Chain A
């Protein structure tokens, strides 16, 4: 029927991306892993047999026991049940990864937009600072900042301190992307066309530029979650984290001191880290393929 063909709109950018993402097997596996970990994080208080940092098993005489039916991942010498701790840690590690990544993206957008919008001295200065943050050995400074600020000013801030420091050192990648894309999109014909049709600055920005840099931002935010979770694990493993908050890295830190005798303390939290990070990486790669306009079918 001719009428229907007239009214049929071409699929939107997001519909096309979603259709392509659904066909991407590894992207779907990644998303499934992410959803799995999110569920664990939400349901942690219900699923975990023991509470966060609970030494209960010590009084049940199970301290230092290898994996069994009651303690599927084994028990630490101190009496901490690893299975519960991995579940409780999921919550905190996802919190660090998600919040740090979102903060990083917001910070990167702000700084990148300033660099892309202004011209001349301000733009050069912002670019220079971005490059400095891109090249510096970030982990060293993160460790140092976490250590100093956790004993000095922000006692008891726990994970939020780590989140803030991760974001402070992590925004340069996003900022580069935003700046580059803004500069690129700004000069494209459709933006010029919109401008010549009389579109104002805000319409140009939100209707034309932002949607076009949204795709790379979604991808980089997803991949950053993976990166920040890895960094948090390293920070806690090296003993710089909060010893009263359940994280995967903290269990790995405790496992390292009993590495000779109790392999299970090191093994299971590490597997959780690998799969969680893998999930976000696969999802990010899948999104990157699905959202790439150059791969349009």
Chain B
């Protein structure tokens, strides 16, 4: 975990200073921040100090949660705080839905191997695997927002409440499309994995033994096979969360979702280096926390894995 954090810090710092200093880079991007902002960036990046001290001083500030000011002059930490929750809201709902749907569908697909519904499910999954998330979003926006006019195409909430003037229903209406897209893409991964693991486990001798001792197919599937097939899936849930967060710039831009990913894409285009560094570091920490939680859950589920 610590090497990963350090690695990301070094990479973002290095690229931010590739023009000499972040200020030079911002100017190379033809952006001209106000003198006050330049001054605060000069202080934040310790440009009066020798090069070898700068990184350490910056890293120390980072550890203390001091992310500096963006080139618009606003505090990076405060801006990120607002985007953090909109991103989490979207990601967590989609992840929970994907797990809740993916596991039973994967089990069904495995227990009905080579049936018509199995082919349908696996084809559905491989398409999800091969599709750019944002493009699916665009198609859904064209169909449901512009052609049918049922759902909003952008943002997390509207100026006029949709769906009966209730703020909760309005939030749900805005969540519907982005959640659907993210869920489908993550679902594709889970279904494939659960199916493959179940097929592997169903071939084991203890499944045969369970069947031979007269247990119902239901008990064999859910109590014996699924328990063993599910453990590797936990790892992938963590990875999928990290993957979806990493892909957030594309998904959130499609839906103009006011979260970290959309902010990142905008900030990177404008070369708002402090903001870009801040968001990258925060997303890295989120991914690492997700991985840590995954490891902990894995250790609980599989007693052979010791927490080190």
A residues near B (Cβ < 8 Å) are 128-129, 131-133, 135-141, 143-145, 147-149, 151-153, 226, 230, 233-234, 237-240, 252, 255-256, 259-260, 263, 266-267, 270, 273-274, 277-278, 281-282, 285
State whether A137 and B4 are in contact (beta carbons under 8 Å apart), knowing that A144-B280, A226-B130, A233-B132 are contacts in the complex.
no
* CB contact between A278 and one of B127, B146, B247 (< 8 Å): that residue: B127
Interface residues as binary, B235-271 with A (CB distance below 8 Å gives 1, 0 otherwise):
0000000100111011001100000000011001101
Question: In this complex, which of B4, B11, B132 has the most chain A Cβ atoms within 10 angstroms of its Cβ?
Answer: B132
- In the complex, the answer to whether A274 meets B288 with C-beta atoms within 8 Å is no
Query: What residue of chain B has the Cβ atom nearest to residue A260's Cβ?
Result: B146
B97 at the interface (CB under 8 A from A): no
The distance in angstroms between the C-alpha atoms of A131 and B269, with both chains bound, is 28
Q: Is the CB of B269 within 8 A of A135?
A: no
Say whether A144 contacts B268, CB under 8 Å. Answer: yes
A141 to B, closest residue via Cβ: B11
What is the bound-complex CA distance between A239 and B270, given in angstroms? 11
Indicate if the CB atoms of A137 and B245 lie closer than 8 Å.
Answer: yes
Interface residues on B, range: 35 or more
Is the Cβ of B249 less than 8 Å from the Cβ of A151? no
Would you call B276 an interface residue if the criterion is a C-beta within 8 Å of the partner chain's C-beta atoms? Answer: yes
B124 within 8 A of A: no
Bound state CA distance, A6 and B134, in angstroms? 60
A136/B142 contact (C-beta < 8 A), A143-B268, A152-B19 known: no
The answer on a CB contact under 8 Å between B247 and A274 is no
Q: Is the CB of A151 within 8 A of B288?
A: no
Judged by a CB distance under 8 angstroms, whether B183 is at the interface is no
Q: Is B284 an interface residue (CB 8 A)?
A: yes
Interface status of B287 (Cβ within 8 A of chain A): yes
The smallest C-beta distance from A243 to any residue of chain B, in angstroms, reads 12
User: Are A135 and B4 in touch, CB under 8 angstroms?
Assistant: yes
Least CB distance from A184 to B in Å reads: 19
Instruction: Report the minimum CB–CB distance from A285 to chain B (whole Å).
Output: 8
Looking at chain A's contact residues, the main secondary structure is: helix
Note all chain A residues with C-beta closer than 8 A to B279: 140
Q: Are B8 and A136 in contact (CB under 8 A)?
A: yes
| Given A137-B245, A252-B138; 14 other pairs, CB 8 A cutoff | A129-B7, A133-B7, A139-B246, A145-B15, A147-B271, A148-B271, A151-B29, A152-B18, A152-B19, A230-B132, A240-B269, A259-B141, A266-B142, A285-B126
**Contacts A135-B288, A259-B142 hold; do A143 and B131 have CB atoms under 8 A apart?**
no
Q: A138 to B146, alpha carbons, bound, how many Å?
A: 33
B40 part of interface (Cβ distance < 8 Å):
no
Give the contacting residue for B242; candidates A135, A141, A226; CB below 8 A.
A135
Contacts of B287 in A (CB 8 A): 135-137
- List residues of chain A with CB within 8 A of the CB of B100: none
Is B3 among interface residues, defined by CB-CB distance under 8 A? yes
CB pair B280–A131 under 8 Å, yes or no, is no
The contact of B11 among A135, A136, A285, by CB within 8 Å, is: A136
- Tell me, in angstroms, the Cα distance from A240 to B16 when the chains sit together: 16
Using CB atoms, name the residue of chain B closest to A233. B132
Evaluate whether A144 and B245 lie within 8 angstroms (CB atoms) in the complex, with A270-B132, A278-B130 already known.
no
Q: How far is the CB of B292 from the nearest CB of chain A, in Å? A: 11
Contact A152 B25 (CB under 8 A): yes
Nearest-CB distance from B106 to chain A (Å)? Answer: 16
In the complex, chain B residues whose CB is within 8 Å of the CB of A259:
138, 141-142, 146, 153
Q: Which residue of B lies closest to A140 (CB)?
A: B280
User: Which residues of B lie under 8 Å from residue A252 when comparing CB positions?
Assistant: 132, 134-135, 138
Q: Is the CB of A270 within 8 A of B242?
A: no
Whole-angstrom distance from the CB of A242 to the nearest CB of chain B? 14
